[in-house]
Amino acid sequence: MATQAHFSANLAWRAELSKSWDVLGPFPIHAREQQFLSPSFPINISEPIDFIRTWSSSYADNGRVGWSKTKTTPEGDLKVSFPNIRWSDLRATEGWAALQHHAVLHTNLTLYPPSGSSNSAPPRLLNGTPGIYMARSALFPRAIELPAPPSPNEPTTYHVFVSGDYEVYPLYSIYFHKVSYFPRSDSSGPPRFGTPTQTINLTIDIEGLKDWVQLEPTQDVLCDFVDGYAFGDALGVGVRSLGGWWTATGAVLTSNVNGFDVQLLRPTTLAPSQTRIVPLRIVQSGRYTRASLGIRLTLTEAESNKTLALSITLPVKHHPAWSTGNLSTITGTYFYAQEMPTAFSAFPPLRENAEHEDPKPPILCLHGAGVDIASQSFWIDALPRQEHSWLLTPSGRTAWGLDWHGPSARDAWGSVDALVAILNANPSESWRARRLGNSEARTGTRVVLMGHSNGGQGAWYLASRFPDRVLGVVPAAAYIKSQAYVPLLMSRSAHFIDPAVRAILESSLTPDDNDLFLSNLVDTPVLAVHGGSDDNVPVWHSREAVSVLQVWNPEANVTYKEDARQLHWYPTVLKNNQVQTFLDEVLRTPPRRRPRSKTFTLTVAVPAESGSLHGWKIERLIVPGRLGRLTVHILADNQLRIVTSNVDRFSMFADAWESVEALHVDDTQLEFSGQLRSGDVGVVAFERHGRRGWKPEAACQKTAAQASARIQSFLSTAAPFYLVVLDNSSSRDVSLALRIAHDLHAYHRLDAEIVLGYESFRERLADSSNTAPGNILVIGNAASPSLANMLHGQQTPFRTENNVLAIKDATLDEAGLGILFLHPRPHNADGQMLFLLSTDASGLERAGRLFPIRTGVTVPDWLITSSRADWTGAGGVIGAGVWGIGWSWNEAMSWLY
């Protein structure tokens, strides 16, 4: 794609993007720091731009940089680099962190009105530029309203500014930017990196406002068919509103087929310019063998009550009945978070299940960053085929996902559960012969984990957060955590921020730090693989992970395989005898025979995002935001000694410890009844009683696991989001809602419905048919009268006083404030609300940048940022913290100016 504008003759408007660009930079930043800084840092675009002035930058000789000129290439690409910077010297001392930098780019866009007309409606712009995270299947336009309407009589020129941020974190950015290097002449040692160069892709199209809906075929979701039966029940049709509020109200097949039908899962409303995937359920009782699937979708426009029908033809990929001679990769589907059609890929076992033997566990295979399983087969083709185990490759929501954390982790486990359900639902003999075992009530279906690169990091992550569900793990070319992959050394914020605030902000990275949770894998077989000359993820990452694991248990079943002279990717990274031997051993060992160490420690950061270890589960922390640890010592005479650290509530599966006679928990000794020893009680929970005392709760008492620690947890919704705009007349608030809805869809395939006004939102919640427990984002001004109604009852320390937002003894009425905080969701104890508020338009933009679309954005449960953030980054934060138990004030993890 190129830096150019496309012309739409039928609209008669014409756009022209200048080929000449002004470039200012580079300025050092660390990963994700641009979420706090102004995108136009260091300039103020509300003032006239001085193209003669110079600015301070520690990357340049003499410490000053100024504006320079560049042009697009004949092919239309804009390449941005700074060859006068001594990058090799910087990288020699600071590593890859030194390559990361910020620049400001400027050009002009001119709109020409239709000739001979003075009444033509102004157009809007479409930006089709792919983001760093965006796979080809995610390419769909985002509408941008012009800041002011163009003249209908003469050309109008707009300034265009681009925040040119060169990222080397995580892995995917280095693929995208294609960091160049000069090979050494003697072929020894690491490569010498050259000048980092960005290739900027900017496309601008013109779109007139239309009262219509169009199909977006790149967003369609459809499963394959095996022997005439759908491999899943979820189907999705991508649609986009060109104007007006449209609701999909019905869907039918264009031709009747016995034993096969589709049903609209629920009405789906699109805001003007919004793209959504309309969810349809496949209902099947007989074989379907046609080459395509025809569907007619009915939509109604809210204001005019106009109705239209869209006809869709989806090609169907058929597979013959299974046999050892015609196996191939199959695309399956399921509904993620109740209503979001989601695809995964799977390869069946080469042979049918052995008679009188339990089915072998599946192997869950996590792809690397930028791998789109819908259009790229190389990942599943690179996996070792198994005699009796399924290979399952989830999407992770998108090719980039969330580093296999949050919604990406949920998608991985959801794909496993979906595969089990799909195979069990078909009664035919050929399907029965390749079924998986039933999901276990305590853990779900157990798996072997495998992954490469970002997927290798994801394998470490999932295995150490859900150890009882993982039988073995093969992480290949994995980085430990983002801060180790590209350190946060070149931070601008660090020069201005109170270290206490920095600690609170960076606590929101703790749940992702795999090295902190390796205690959970002391009894899990691990084979870590790494190329000895990896040019992307340094080989020390796997070496260090293995070393840390062995600190927790020197006798841990962990093996490190280093392939000398191999780079980041090589065809035999997972297809080799040692990996296959490891898999064979793990797959042949029944889960019940899994060994237990005499002493083991469960480490947890966010209880709601962690599973159990040998049946023990931490459910609540004393101080959220800090690590919780529970150490179990197995003693003689059927006794256990438990030592806790920062744990307020934990539970145990009694059937995993049937022979236990007594527990010593910190300073409390508990003796068990015969009922507990016999295993009649499934789960026993314990709550802290005093500083070091404990008491058991009633058996099987259900309480929600603690979910606080960071705003990123908001993305783990149980159903489509509601994006509520408090003041439906605020165009800025609506624009931000549309932007967030676009980004949720593009980067995570997460669905969102936009709701205008507080009263409309109340009606949605009161509608008995609308029970989906999705998380709710509230966007508005901190002085909105409706905010007082929503915060009534003061369920968090935030409150309103005379339409002024306050927390503790601080009133938040300063100009330029952006305010974000998590809040309990009404009518659903497991859900969350996120308030994204501001005191003015500039504060709204600051808050909007901190919505955690990407990993590594350091936003804990609540945060207040000021105008000073534009030039000091996180140094402009004036309040931040993690909620305590029950959404209370957490003094140990809070800071307020």
Bridge-partner residues for 604, per DSSP? Answer: 628
- Top pLDDT among 662 and 67 is at 67
Is the pLDDT at 563 greater than 80, yes or no? yes
Is the pLDDT at 130 greater than 80, yes or no? no
Collapsing DSSP to helix, strand or coil, 551 comes out as: helix
- Residue 654 has a pLDDT of 82
Is the pLDDT at 372 greater than 70, yes or no? yes
Q: Are 88 and 150 in contact (CB under 8 A)?
A: no
Task: Please name the amino acid found at residue 304.
Answer: S
pLDDT band for position 24 (50/70/90)? very high
- Report the range of poorest mean pLDDT among 63-72, 166-175, 423-432, 623-632: 166-175
pLDDT tens digits, one per residue of 763-800: 888 775 555 579 999 999 999 999 999 998 889 999 99
Largest CA distance in the chain: 96
- Residue 860: count other Cβ atoms within 10 Å of its Cβ: 28
Q: Which of 862, 723, 843 is nearest to 783 (CA)?
A: 843
In whole angstroms, give the CA distance from residue 174 to residue 185.
24
Q: Quote the crossing angle between the two packed helices 454-465 and 407-425, to the nearest 10°.
A: 80
Residue with tokens 């690169």: 453
Could you tell me how many residues make up the chain?
Answer: 897
pLDDT band for position 638 (50/70/90)? confident
CA angle 790, 792, 797 (to 5 degrees): 100
Q: Which two tokens stand for residue 451?
A: 């992954």
Q: What does the pLDDT average to over 297-319?
A: 95
Q: Across the chain, what does the average pLDDT equal? A: 89
- Report the range of poorest mean pLDDT among 185-189, 258-262, 740-744, 840-844: 185-189
- Residue 187 has a pLDDT of 35
- Residue 38 has a pLDDT of 96
In whole angstroms, give the CA distance from residue 542 to residue 538.
8
- Residue 138 has a pLDDT of 53
- Residue 531: count other Cβ atoms within 10 Å of its Cβ: 22
- Top pLDDT among 62 and 658 is at 62
What does residue 50 show for φ and ψ, rounded to 5 degrees?
Answer: -95, 105
pLDDT tens digits, one per residue of 462-515: 999 999 999 999 999 999 999 999 899 999 999 999 999 999 999 999 999 999
CA-to-CA separations, 403 to 399, 515, 603, in angstroms, rounded: 10, 15, 20
- Residue 350 has a pLDDT of 92
Of all residues in the chain, what percent carry a pLDDT higher than 90?
73
Q: Which two tokens stand for residue 497?
A: 């921020």
Is the pLDDT at 677 greater than 80, yes or no? no
**Strand 776-781, strand 721-725: pairing:** parallel
- Give me the DSSP letters along 333-363: EEEETTTEEEEEEEE--SSPPPTTSPPPPPE
In whole angstroms, give the CA distance from residue 317 to residue 224.
5
Residue with tokens 């990288």: 91
Is the pLDDT at 180 greater than 70, yes or no? no
Q: Are 240 and 275 in contact (CB under 8 A)?
A: yes
Q: Which two tokens stand for residue 304?
A: 């005019």
In whole angstroms, give the CA distance from residue 641 to residue 647.
15
- Top pLDDT among 76 and 446 is at 446
Q: Which two tokens stand for residue 376?
A: 């790229």
In whole angstroms, give the CA distance from residue 850 to residue 505.
12
**Strand 124-127, strand 142-144: pairing:** antiparallel
pLDDT tens digits, one per residue of 386-440: 999 999 999 999 998 899 999 999 999 999 999 999 999 988 888 888 999 877 8
- Residue 702 has a pLDDT of 57
N- to C-terminal Cα separation, the chain: 46
In whole angstroms, give the CA distance from residue 524 to residue 522.
6
pLDDT band for position 1 (50/70/90)? very low
In whole angstroms, give the CA distance from residue 580 to residue 577.
5
Write the DSSP symbol of residue 443: T
- Residue 577: count other Cβ atoms within 10 Å of its Cβ: 9
In whole angstroms, give the CA distance from residue 875 to residue 501.
9
Q: Which of 423, 406, 413, 416 is nearest to 713 (CA)?
A: 406
In whole angstroms, give the CA distance from residue 307 to residue 477.
53
Report CA torsion sign: 761, 765, 766, 770: positive
Q: Which two tokens stand for residue 379?
A: 């990942």
Question: Exposure string (b/e) for 699-710, b if CB count within 10 Å is 16 or more?
Answer: eeeeeebbbbbb
Task: Please name the amino acid found at residue 364.
Answer: L
Q: Strand 391-394's sheet: what is its strand order?
A: 330-336, 340-347, 391-394, 363-366, 447-452, 470-476, 526-531, 558-563
pLDDT tens digits, one per residue of 227-259: 999 999 999 999 999 989 999 999 999 999 999
Q: What does the pLDDT average to over 90-110?
A: 93
In whole angstroms, give the CA distance from residue 461 to residue 438.
24
Q: Are 239 and 216 in contact (CB under 8 A)?
A: yes
CB within 8 Å of 489: residues ≥ 6 apart = 30, 94, 95, 97, 98
- Residue 120 has a pLDDT of 65
Half-sphere exposure at residue 747, Cβ-oriented, CA atoms within 13 angstroms: 20
pTM for this entry = 0.94
Long-range CB contact pairs, 438-445, < 8 A, 24+ = 442/468, 442/612, 442/615, 442/653, 442/655, 442/656, 443/468, 443/469, 443/611, 443/612, 444/413, 444/416, 444/417, 444/469, 445/361, 445/362, 445/416, 445/417, 445/420, 445/469
Task: Please name the amino acid found at residue 576.
Answer: N
In whole angstroms, give the CA distance from residue 164 to residue 79.
11
Q: What does the pLDDT average to over 4-30?
A: 78
Of all residues in the chain, what percent carry a pLDDT higher than 70?
91
- Residue 75: count other Cβ atoms within 10 Å of its Cβ: 8
pLDDT band for position 134 (50/70/90)? very low
Half-sphere exposure at residue 542, Cβ-oriented, CA atoms within 13 angstroms: 32
- Top pLDDT among 819 and 209 is at 819
- Report the range of poorest mean pLDDT among 130-139, 241-250, 574-583, 783-792: 130-139
In whole angstroms, give the CA distance from residue 105 to residue 891.
43
H or E element in which residue 162 lies? strand 156-166
pLDDT tens digits, one per residue of 282-303: 999 999 999 999 999 999 998 8
CB within 8 Å of 469: residues ≥ 6 apart = 413, 443, 444, 445, 446, 447, 611
pLDDT band for position 128 (50/70/90)? low
CA-to-CA separations, 81 to 4, 14, 99, 194, in angstroms, rounded: 20, 31, 11, 11
Report CA torsion sign: 462, 448, 456, 531: positive
Q: Which of 477, 521, 469, 516 is nearest to 364 (CA)?
A: 469
- Domains of the chain from N-terminus onward: 4-207 (no CATH), 321-485+514-588 (3.40.50.1820), 606-696 (no CATH), 711-851+860-896 (3.30.379.10)
Q: Which two tokens stand for residue 166?
A: 């060169």
- Residue 346 has a pLDDT of 97
In whole angstroms, give the CA distance from residue 139 to residue 141.
7
